[in-house]
Structure 1
Amino acid sequence: MKRFSGLAVVVLIVVGACSSERNTFTNRTFHNLTSHFNAYYLSDTKIKEVENQVRANYKEDYTQVLPVFIPIDSATIKQNKEKLDSARELSSKAIDWHRISKWVDDSYYLLGKIDYLQGQQDDALNAFKYVNSTSKDKELRHRALITLLRLYVDRREYENANFTIDYLSKETEISDENRFALFKTLAYYYETRADQNGVIGALDRAVGYAPDKKEESRIHFILAQRYQKEGLDALAYDYYRKSLDGNPPYERSFFATLYAQQVAELNASKDLKKVRNYYDELYKDPKNKDLKDVVVYERALFEEKQGDIPLTLDLLHSAAKEPGSNPRLKGYIYQKLAEINLGEFKDFRATKYYLDSALTFIKEDDPAALEILEQKATLDQYVFHVERIQLNDSLSIIASLSPEEQTAIAQDYIEKEEERLVAEARAKETPKNSNIFNNLLAFSGKDAGSSFYFDNGVALQQGAIEFNRVWGNRPLQDNWRRRAATFQTSTQPQIPTPELDSASSGENPILANLPSLESLLGKIPNTPEQIEQLNSELEKSYFELGKLLYFDLKEIEPSIANLETLIQKYPNTIRKPEAYYLLYLGQKDSGGNFQQYAGRLNREFPESQYTYSVNNPDAASGNLAALESSKGYEQAYNAYYAGDYQRARDLVKATLEDYPLTRNTEKLLLLDIMVTGKLESRDRFKTRLETYINNTKDPALVSLARNMLRPMLSSEELAALEPKEKIEVDSTQLAADAAAENAGKEIPADSPYKLNESQTHIFVIALSRSEAEAATGLLGDLENFHAANYPNARLRTGNMNMSSENAIYIISPFANAEKANEYYQKFAADFESEGLPENIKSNAFFISIENFQTLNKSKNLEEYRTFFRTVYQ
């Protein structure tokens, strides 16, 4: 009975202690122990395992300045969802089941960390704020505030971040662990604000509180990189040497040693042989077998500094072929090749293809990739037109030959391709070993240079080509297979089979790229329609290439050459007035005979806008000119509809003489043609309309001109006039447009922005710091808006700091201004986001990539908004 009574007492004590309602010493002790060593400990362990997995999966790019914090990889977080869900459940139990324990606030902190890792920023924010406001544990409060600071920096909420920094700076008794986290987070804050000195200062303080040698080594390496970037080589050298302490990963040790040598000796050494020997030794070191591309790349950069460009190019090509552990480095290698080909040789075609190669190794959301895409936009157009000219010129020449001559050219091409394939096989062939014992092993397959047929690449290549000459590129199969195929064909219906590659289908892979005579002859244009299409493409490419070279690539001589070729080959081209004008500008810039083109414009196209421009070279231009020409157009339009046709003509001509090339020019020219219909003959009116339709690019104005022309045409002419897509435009809309434009603000005449509606555009929402902080859910709302309205558009959303006063949100890409305007209208009508003022929506705008580069330099949002309202609205 005594034993039973004792046991009962123990059971009653335990049961009583399990209660989370009674706040007694026994209860608190039980709940503290259970909460700490069961729920909290297990949850914390699982979170740390996930964080360690993020660090392990991250591949450091030592060729670039390392980030302060290793980025959180969403893919790794998704892979560990079950582990984080389990940690969340344990932390929740620690809160629900052990409410009187002292580990409740710690568990709330863990819940905030889980939310932070899973990208649930608002929930994480609330959790950290709650811990800071309720916890009596000073160390835990500091930890929550420091993590909250990192979250504010992630969200670019710098005002809140500044307040948190100020608050923490006044706190006392901060533990070493928290001091390390605080200084590292401060370095991250300065990193996002591109404050180099701030990052260095914060990391220098953080390294003194580093928890282990590995973390200390990484911070020393970052400090060394940043000092090297600032040109402080002596400090960089010291920190690179310090980063070698603590048994760092081999790759970091390699780069620390390499860069330390660079800042200490290689860059300053006059003994070039010694430097090159150093790179050779690194290359031969077997420990560096996965870093050979780095060694060759760094050697190439060294040779570039010595001015040896041919050797630099050779080394870069070698580096691209070397094995390596960092794919992004290949992207940097191709980017460097593009830079040299552009800067040294003006080889736009090679530059474009090197940039294409770079993008295959750099992720599309990487800042380097975005920079490459911007640079590549013009080069893509250049290469397209150059290659189309080369191809169509060749086809045009071949098309003028007799069928026998065409066949001879095709056969000659095939023979040269055969010779090339054999030469490639011979280049890959290993030299034959003359050892008699190896010759005896001809059938062993061990001797790559064996005389055995199937071990001889050159013999295989020649045999395949000879087979192709006799039998064609047919599948290789035995007689029984052909008989079986014949039997099946004659007795069973044919069933479509999936396409196979050359190896599985029996087709000889050696001949995969060897064209047949029939396929080559089939590409030659022989019908009048094909030849007309070919010449139409040539005409357009010569013109577009001339424009591109003059305006975008600033290459005047090649621009002149292409435009003169256009006029010589296609003297009746509808692009002739603009080509004359571009030649006038090009010859004027290069000190040539530009007056000849002014004379041609006056003789051949006296009423062209380009003629008005060359006759008045000092006329105003830019947005102010557009605004003034809008006023002139409105006055002339009113005079026309009042029946005062001569005054309307005088106003049109006066406006064109004062402002010859604005976005209102085509409207003014059409109004002048309408006056012609009232004052001159029917034939003159018809001729001017036909010329206008052929030369005008605005589809709405072209449609209006067609409507005017139709009553004067026969049924056959009407059929030829019909556009592929009809665009109905009310002529009165032109006056309304002019009046609306006239209501805009006066724009400075020297605006830096250009109108290029065909270029890629981006959409921009600009906010002040306080507005950005209030619009907490803007990014999420934008993504939901895109998912609902543009599910297949692949729109990307991001944000950046335009200046210390403004943050901008960017939506991209849009193929041209028209697509961007469609999005703008939809956004203005339907988009909603809590905390986003209505005036922010009305001040949003879209902008071409070229103009965005200008805006990003000037930071003057209002200047661009004025341009935007005048040009696009």
Structure 2
Amino acid sequence: MRKNAILFGIGFLIFLGACSSERNTFTNRAFHNLTAHFNAYYLADVKIREVQNQVENNYKEDYTQVLPVFIPIDSATIQQNKAMLDSARELSSKAIDWHRISKWVDDSYFLIGKIDYLQAHVDDSKNAFRYVNSQSKDKDLRHQALISLLRLYIDQKTYEDANFTIDYLSKETEISEENRYELFKTLAYYYESRADQSGVIGALDRATTYAKDKKELSRIHFILAQRYQREGLDALAYDYYKRSLEGNPPYERSFYATLYAQQVAELNASKDLRKVRNYYEDLYKDPKNKDLKDVVVYEQALFEEKQGDIPLTLKLLHQAAKEPGSNPRLKGYIYQKLADLNLSEFKDYRATKYYLDSALTFIKEGDPIAAKINDQKATLDQFVFHVERLQKNDSLIFLAALGGEEQRKRAEAFLASEEERLIKEAALKNQPKNTSIFDNLLAFSGKTSGSSFYFDNSAAMQQGTIEFSRTWGNRPLQDNWRRRSALFQTSGQTSPQASKMDSASQKEDAALAGLPSVESLLNAIPNTPEQLQVANSEMEESYFELGKLLYFDLKETKMSIDNLETLIRNYPNTSKKPEAYYMLYLGQKELNGNADFYANRLNREFPSSPYTYSVNNPDAASGNLAYLESSKRYEQAYDAYYRGDFEAAKGIIRSTLAEFPLTRNTEKLLLLDAMVTGKLDSRIAFRTKLEEFIQNSKELELTDLAKKMLQPLLSQEELAALKEEKFTQPDSSQLETAPIADVKKTEVPADSPYKVNESQTHIFVIALTPSEVEAAKNLLGDLENFHAQAFSNARLRTGNMNMNQENSIYIISPFSNSERALEYYKKFSEEFKSTGLSQQAKSKAFFISIENFQTLNKTKNLEEYLLFFRSLYL
């Protein structure tokens, strides 16, 4: 007994010695290797793989588009599995802390890097992979770390680092087959990121040599087939589509592979249209494809488009939009295709806009296609708004000219036509329903229950709704027996028949709710002078805005001329006349029309307008150089005005407007010209200049200043009439010095690395120090609320990143040009508030073009860019 106790004690002491993480003995190492591997590393690795599998399983492949090389990491799935990843991190950390002499320490660091990568902790992930690469003696593990680091660089589009890593790996020897597979896939991802089609194909082709998983190999073959098909290499595409059917792929991929293989092999080249259409019809009828009917019809529509049959293409696209499907994004592509056809074939901007609206309901906001659609839709939204406002106001003004009795007759006739339309639409939807056993019996006599039972007959229900409304008005359908039966029903008990009747009543009420009443129609008619003035003002604005949109954005010069000429004809006293004349001049010149007619009108009616200067001097400089030069001239003119040399100021102003007629300084020059007139000419001339400026100015601050200047020149009666505008009496110092605040700017340094590109996409940036970030904890949420209230239709996105150790930046995007960004900047400066965000921090905000942001991201010199920004834009 004593001997056993001694042996047990000796064994226990050996075990305790082996548990030490400091003693580097054979027994100690063996114990820690075993424990670290199976008690920590293995369990952590299993948890990470489980999360990665969930990401792949939750991802919905869009086979109508070229599949991505790597399945994107879904942040929502990662967040849902946070507890599992935290557990994996804890296990990996224990393997490092508790088993420091084991050979699994570096592997555990690599797992921590993978966890950080999944959770988008970019800097921590980089550090972990770099540590493994520099410290590990395991060549395979170092290669894994480098390949993971390469993927991270590609994610961030830091291609210089990526190129260096690729170059390093290309010189490495003895890379395992598993690592070679991951390396070539990552290289394909690199070329995909850089839109290098040949590079992607070459890298994926090499990856297939080392692929072990048959399902993965099937997916790669499908991607290769898609890319070969888009390159026009149909034979290769066909071969790879066939290969993708191997390895037991999901049914949906098999369906697309078979469909596309048939296309590249036969359908696209076949001249037997009946055979092709029969093929699509067979696919449509196949029960296995019940969730892919929209795909079949969509592909047939694309085939018919290639045959040049646009009416049939449109018909099939409309059918595809109604068919069931498993991929919601496909509906977005269908509506986008409808939009493209309506734009290219019919120039129907209104239909294009609404189809694009429908497309966006099926495409996620972060999708690159969504950004493209939003850019395309921005102009169309404005176009449709003004077209519909013109149509509406034109009809209302016409009705306003009629007598009250005639107005009522027309309102009633309109409602009657709407009722008739609703009945016809309901009749089209009325399809027999085989929901009863009696349908089989009635079929022998040519009758079905669907055509006779009231609640199965949409047309009868619609007609009943309208008749009920005519007799009783808009009220719920409830008669005496129903009210009495309701008294006897206990809480929570409803008879099936009553439920069915209630449901039918709700449907009828819902259908009826869409019809306006006669009174509501009559109330919309502008019957008072004030209402007519508002309607006409809106039409005047819409004709002008349509003219601009059609000329500058939609390139429809003839339509632009029609709208602008209508504006001048219907509203001869419009304040937009000088600019309208100028656009008509440009339009006629483009169409080789009578441009001189509008040039003469500008010279005769508006000799001092900047548009007149521009017409008379067509070779005048423009752009940023013109802006900088005109800024210098403006400052010279103002200095001359300030020292009392009004003639010199007048000469500088006139020569500047002649040489640089349309810049951001034009309105300041025109206001200063009016001030000079006030010193040199009569009060009447001064007043005329100010009134002309107020009518045509687009700068609100300058317009307000001009109104204040005008106030002392008005009579008591005119002042009383303008009291509603709440003019405040300006002091002389304000009149004399206000414009100069806008001018005293620092010139752009000649060696500035930044370029002016006002038409490029811009982003808005808020730069904060770490302490300011800590204080403004609610900044992102407050920005989202601000956008929802002030820019609800702009689809702005917010995000943040670290620029360097001193600054974090919050980014709002996108803005299509500098003008849109400037509008946001002004509203942000005046209205945005966030707890903890100081005024000093707000003052450092700026906007910047994408090209300049890339430069800033390299230099990290915020002060250098702020000097450029303030010189040009403030």
Q: TM-score range by the shorter chain?
A: 0.7 to 0.9
Match of 1:489? none
> Which shows bigger deviation, 185-194 or 391-400?
185-194
SS of 2:475 mapped into structure 1: coil
Output aligned runs, 1:434-833, within 5 Å: 438=439, 447-479=448-480, 508-721=509-722, 723=725, 731-735=736-740, 737-738=742-743, 740=745, 762-763=763-764, 786-787=779-780, 790=783, 792-793=785-786, 796-797=797-798, 811-813=812-814, 816-820=821-825
* AA at the equivalent of 1:261: Q
CA contact (8 A) 2:476 2:505 kept: no
Q: CA deviation at 1:68?
A: 1.1
Do the aligned partners of residues 225 and 330 (structure 1) sit closer, same or farther apart at CA in structure 2, a change above 3 Å counting? same
Percent sequence identity over aligned pairs: 70
- In the alignment, the residues of structure 2 paired with residue 48 and residue 521 of structure 1 have an alpha-carbon distance, to the nearest angstrom, of 67
Do the aligned partners of residues 7 and 250 (structure 1) sit closer, same or farther apart at CA in structure 2, a change above 3 Å counting? same
Do the aligned partners of residues 680 and 35 (structure 1) sit closer, same or farther apart at CA in structure 2, a change above 3 Å counting? closer
Match of 1:387? 388
- In the alignment, the residues of structure 2 paired with residue 505 and residue 684 of structure 1 have an alpha-carbon distance, to the nearest angstrom, of 69
SS of 1:200 mapped into structure 2: helix
* AA at the equivalent of 2:102: S
> Which shows bigger deviation, 399-408 or 501-510?
501-510
Match of 2:333? 332
Q: CA deviation at 1:253?
A: 1.4
* AA at the equivalent of 1:383: V
SS of 1:150 mapped into structure 2: helix
Do the aligned partners of residues 790 and 725 (structure 1) sit closer, same or farther apart at CA in structure 2, a change above 3 Å counting? farther
Do the aligned partners of residues 745 and 408 (structure 1) sit closer, same or farther apart at CA in structure 2, a change above 3 Å counting? farther
- In the alignment, the residues of structure 2 paired with residue 456 and residue 791 of structure 1 have an alpha-carbon distance, to the nearest angstrom, of 47
Match of 1:85? 86
Q: Deviations over 1:41-77 (max 9, x none)?
A: 2221111111111111111111111111111111111
- In the alignment, the residues of structure 2 paired with residue 820 and residue 429 of structure 1 have an alpha-carbon distance, to the nearest angstrom, of 55
User: Gapped runs of 5+ residues in structure 1?
Assistant: 487-500, 767-774, 801-807, 833-840, 853-863
Match of 1:846? 848
SS of 2:317 mapped into structure 1: helix
Match of 2:499? none
CA contact (8 A) 1:183 1:202 kept: yes
CA contact (8 A) 2:599 2:612 kept: yes
User: Gapped runs of 5+ residues in structure 2?
Assistant: 488-501, 788-795, 802-808, 854-864
- In the alignment, the residues of structure 2 paired with residue 94 and residue 369 of structure 1 have an alpha-carbon distance, to the nearest angstrom, of 45
- In the alignment, the residues of structure 1 paired with residue 600 and residue 20 of structure 2 have an alpha-carbon distance, to the nearest angstrom, of 102
Match of 1:428? 429
> Which shows bigger deviation, 728-737 or 272-281?
728-737
Q: Deviations over 1:172-228 (max 9, x none)?
A: 222211111121112212222222222222211111111211111111111122222
SS of 2:174 mapped into structure 1: coil
- In the alignment, the residues of structure 1 paired with residue 850 and residue 826 of structure 2 have an alpha-carbon distance, to the nearest angstrom, of 12
Q: CA deviation at 1:467?
A: 0.9
- In the alignment, the residues of structure 2 paired with residue 589 and residue 746 of structure 1 have an alpha-carbon distance, to the nearest angstrom, of 39
- In the alignment, the residues of structure 1 paired with residue 350 and residue 869 of structure 2 have an alpha-carbon distance, to the nearest angstrom, of 33
Do the aligned partners of residues 830 and 324 (structure 1) sit closer, same or farther apart at CA in structure 2, a change above 3 Å counting? farther
Match of 1:772? none
* AA at the equivalent of 1:734: P
Q: Which has the higher contact order (CA 8 A, sep 6+)?
A: 1
Do the aligned partners of residues 400 and 319 (structure 1) sit closer, same or farther apart at CA in structure 2, a change above 3 Å counting? same
- In the alignment, the residues of structure 2 paired with residue 358 and residue 247 of structure 1 have an alpha-carbon distance, to the nearest angstrom, of 33
Match of 1:168? 169
Q: Deviations over 1:627-650 (max 9, x none)?
A: 443444344434434434344334
Q: Deviations over 1:578-609 (max 9, x none)?
A: 22222222222222223322333333323322
- So what's the TM-score if we normalise by structure 2? 0.84
* AA at the equivalent of 1:678: K
Match of 1:276? 277
- In the alignment, the residues of structure 2 paired with residue 121 and residue 753 of structure 1 have an alpha-carbon distance, to the nearest angstrom, of 32
Q: CA deviation at 1:263?
A: 2.2
Aligned residues: 812
CA contact (8 A) 2:136 2:142 kept: yes
- In the alignment, the residues of structure 2 paired with residue 544 and residue 848 of structure 1 have an alpha-carbon distance, to the nearest angstrom, of 28
* AA at the equivalent of 1:787: L
Match of 1:134? 135
SS of 1:247 mapped into structure 2: coil
> Which shows bigger deviation, 552-561 or 382-391?
552-561
* AA at the equivalent of 2:785: N
Q: Deviations over 1:690-728 (max 9, x none)?
A: 222122111222122112211122344235446479798
CA contact (8 A) 1:706 1:721 kept: no
> Which shows bigger deviation, 475-484 or 642-651?
475-484
> Which shows bigger deviation, 281-290 or 814-823?
814-823
Match of 1:857? none
- In the alignment, the residues of structure 2 paired with residue 297 and residue 438 of structure 1 have an alpha-carbon distance, to the nearest angstrom, of 34
- In the alignment, the residues of structure 2 paired with residue 326 and residue 577 of structure 1 have an alpha-carbon distance, to the nearest angstrom, of 52
- In the alignment, the residues of structure 1 paired with residue 146 and residue 433 of structure 2 have an alpha-carbon distance, to the nearest angstrom, of 72
* AA at the equivalent of 1:792: N
SS of 1:151 mapped into structure 2: helix
Q: CA deviation at 1:504?
A: 9.0
SS of 1:245 mapped into structure 2: coil
CA contact (8 A) 2:438 2:449 kept: no
Q: Deviations over 1:129-160 (max 9, x none)?
A: 22223323222222222222222222323333
- In the alignment, the residues of structure 2 paired with residue 629 and residue 16 of structure 1 have an alpha-carbon distance, to the nearest angstrom, of 85
Match of 1:253? 254
SS of 2:813 mapped into structure 1: strand
- In the alignment, the residues of structure 2 paired with residue 662 and residue 43 of structure 1 have an alpha-carbon distance, to the nearest angstrom, of 63
SS of 2:664 mapped into structure 1: coil
CA contact (8 A) 2:66 2:227 kept: yes
* AA at the equivalent of 1:475: P
CA contact (8 A) 2:799 2:812 kept: yes
CA contact (8 A) 2:711 2:729 kept: no
Q: CA deviation at 1:819?
A: 1.9
CA contact (8 A) 1:19 1:27 kept: yes
Do the aligned partners of residues 636 and 484 (structure 1) sit closer, same or farther apart at CA in structure 2, a change above 3 Å counting? farther
Do the aligned partners of residues 314 and 830 (structure 1) sit closer, same or farther apart at CA in structure 2, a change above 3 Å counting? farther
- So what's the TM-score if we normalise by structure 1? 0.84
- In the alignment, the residues of structure 2 paired with residue 413 and residue 104 of structure 1 have an alpha-carbon distance, to the nearest angstrom, of 80
1:372 has 2:377 as partner: no
Do the aligned partners of residues 469 and 17 (structure 1) sit closer, same or farther apart at CA in structure 2, a change above 3 Å counting? same
Q: CA deviation at 1:397?
A: 0.5
Q: Deviations over 1:106-143 (max 9, x none)?
A: 22222222222122222222222222233232222222
SS of 1:792 mapped into structure 2: helix
Match of 1:318? 319
Do the aligned partners of residues 824 and 761 (structure 1) sit closer, same or farther apart at CA in structure 2, a change above 3 Å counting? farther
* AA at the equivalent of 1:143: Q
- In the alignment, the residues of structure 2 paired with residue 734 and residue 457 of structure 1 have an alpha-carbon distance, to the nearest angstrom, of 68
SS of 1:508 mapped into structure 2: helix
CA contact (8 A) 1:796 1:813 kept: yes
Match of 2:362? 361
- In the alignment, the residues of structure 1 paired with residue 133 and residue 433 of structure 2 have an alpha-carbon distance, to the nearest angstrom, of 77
Do the aligned partners of residues 105 and 606 (structure 1) sit closer, same or farther apart at CA in structure 2, a change above 3 Å counting? closer
CA contact (8 A) 1:476 1:506 kept: no
> Which shows bigger deviation, 700-709 or 717-726?
717-726
Match of 1:351? 352
> Which shows bigger deviation, 7-16 or 557-566?
7-16
Q: CA deviation at 1:421?
A: 1.4
Do the aligned partners of residues 477 and 280 (structure 1) sit closer, same or farther apart at CA in structure 2, a change above 3 Å counting? same
Match of 1:803? none
Do the aligned partners of residues 306 and 726 (structure 1) sit closer, same or farther apart at CA in structure 2, a change above 3 Å counting? farther
SS of 1:279 mapped into structure 2: helix
- In the alignment, the residues of structure 2 paired with residue 115 and residue 423 of structure 1 have an alpha-carbon distance, to the nearest angstrom, of 61
* AA at the equivalent of 1:100: I
> Which shows bigger deviation, 504-513 or 581-590?
504-513
Do the aligned partners of residues 427 and 653 (structure 1) sit closer, same or farther apart at CA in structure 2, a change above 3 Å counting? same
- In the alignment, the residues of structure 1 paired with residue 288 and residue 307 of structure 2 have an alpha-carbon distance, to the nearest angstrom, of 28
> Which shows bigger deviation, 635-644 or 791-800?
791-800
